[in-house]
Structure 1
Amino acid sequence: MSMPKRQLGANGPMVSAIGFGCMSFAGFFGAADDETSLETLAAVEAAGIDFWDTANLYGMGRSERIIGQYLKESSAQVTLATKVGIIPGPPRAFNNEEDYIRAELESSLEKLNRDKVELYYIHRRQQELPVEKVAETMGKFIEEGLIDAWGLSEVAPSTIRRAHKVVPVTAVQNEYSLWTRQPELGVIQTCEELGITFVPFSPIARGALGVADLDPAAFHDSDFRKSNPRFMGQNWLENMEYIRAFRTYAAKKGVSTPALALAWVLHQGDHLIPIPGTRTKEHLADWADAGEIGLSEDDLWEIEQILPAGWAAGDRYADAQMVGVERYC
């Protein structure tokens, strides 16, 4: 298997068309084990996935430390992205001020065993601070060699345009999958127009489009999805009807459900680099070859009939989780 490559931003490096999200290493989707996480990273490297994504928030540095340990003990050559800006609550707050970002960046670099990161995101915007000011701050870090490029997460097209005028934005990261399609209403198009890579996170619908049915009643107490409306009660029962139909279609095509879901995302534009995540190398194997799956116009039409835009019952976040996300439609 050969992993296809895509360019990160207008002037960035060529990276694997499928990236890897490291949020689950911090226990957001159930209890995580550091040794298992290190084994998963080895499998990720072996699969040719060289674009890794984390954040200072994930386990309050736990995910970054695991990556740093792996990089220290291996010869892996990866393009790293991490994020800053969320102060966990309750209540959740946000800080995009230069002094705070600098201190957090220095802390992240220490955990990652790096002198710089290739991509540094504002995880959520601090609304009372003009994004132009934030862009200036990121520009300073680029000039100082602490980061190669910067990005934004969960933002509106208008924010992207404002920021890009000051210091070019390399990547924008928003949730996007077959059950979360709001970015089609402006973000994906804006990124393409401006030469920005769009990085879909949760492209396999937080595991809902996995190889087997999930049982929300069995979720670990720490699992982020326990309070997610789409996994609750009647919403989940309705969603499973659609998911099982999609799983049947994937089986007819001879591919796994998550691989087909990921292939669909990849087919939405060459400027998309999705970052699925997992805690185990076994689940990685379910979708690592998605870049090799070709989809015809007929395939895309059939998928649209099975999972039409807006099919998912329930919001993608609980109200508390939605704080900080820019709404634009």
Structure 2
Amino acid sequence: MPVPAYHVDHEVLATHAKNKVNVPSGDAAKRRTQVNHLRSRLEAHIAAHPDYDLVKLRASGSTAKHTAIRRRRGEGSDADVAAYVRASSVGGVSVEVSGLLEWLKDRCVEVYGATKDADDFVISDHAVGITLRGSGLKIDVAPVLYEGEADDRGHLVTRQGDKVLTSVTLHLAFIHTRRNAAGPNYRELIRLLKAWIREAKRNDDQLRCKSFLLELIVAHLWDHGWNGEALAVNNYPRAFEQVLSYIAHTDLLAPVVFTDFYPATEVTPSSDPIQFWDPVNPTNNVTRTYTDADRQRLVKTATTALEDVMWAAHAPTKGDANQAWRNLLGPAFEGA
């Protein structure tokens, strides 16, 4: 299939990503430095107290995966950290979440409180937020109930309050494997798609699409292609078209399973409207809380976005193409 000569081409979208979407390299380095500082402080504490019940920290989430996008004011944390808690010390995997978070806050104060104010530690629905006054960064420390499993497997407390067996380390390996094969544009494509869905949610506050779902859609298309064509990670307009076309034309009805760390036969059968299975846990459908109405809303959003991308590909003028992409990426998109 011939590729259109886009007015808004790969370089235009790459420039937009650099200027408006990607976390600036200096900021990203600062975040990683702060996370490493937290880890080193805890490791020093553990060395002095070998039986301490907070076992280890692992960088997690979008910052660790290098798929984070610039935050808008009031949006979330700057970085996420998984705090591995010796499960037996808090009553086991069935421990009540609010009590676990209070326990974790107390441990964070023990380790880091000597140089911080009490107000710098705030409990949310799933984590303990630590504000670093010097840099202004906020790091969410989420508990993982740990029973000594290999590969950093443990039960993570989710934003919904569930406890889900996962592995931060294997999740990072999952995305690194594909990034290493595809090149650096793989993660930037994910960041651009996150910018699209953020703008879509700004226009529709009922829309549901977690960033992890976008990561899994990109991974699935990298592994299998779409409509007989490999995922065009080096041609962002084409890759957008492929991702949106996949959502629009499959209606997200087909289960998606990854076999990096388990065989497909281990997946637990489900009747959930959307089924994207955790790459490290065959019993966890990461979209299990999505209703059929959520699925239809996301498919409709992707269909509308696909129409904009297709119009931009054949638009008679640069101005028309730019406006179509502003519909996807917001008014900050400057275009060609």
Normalization by structure 2: what TM-score?
Answer: 0.30
Normalization by structure 1: what TM-score?
Answer: 0.30
- Hey, which of these two has a bigger chunk of helix by percent? 2
The higher radius of gyration belongs to 2
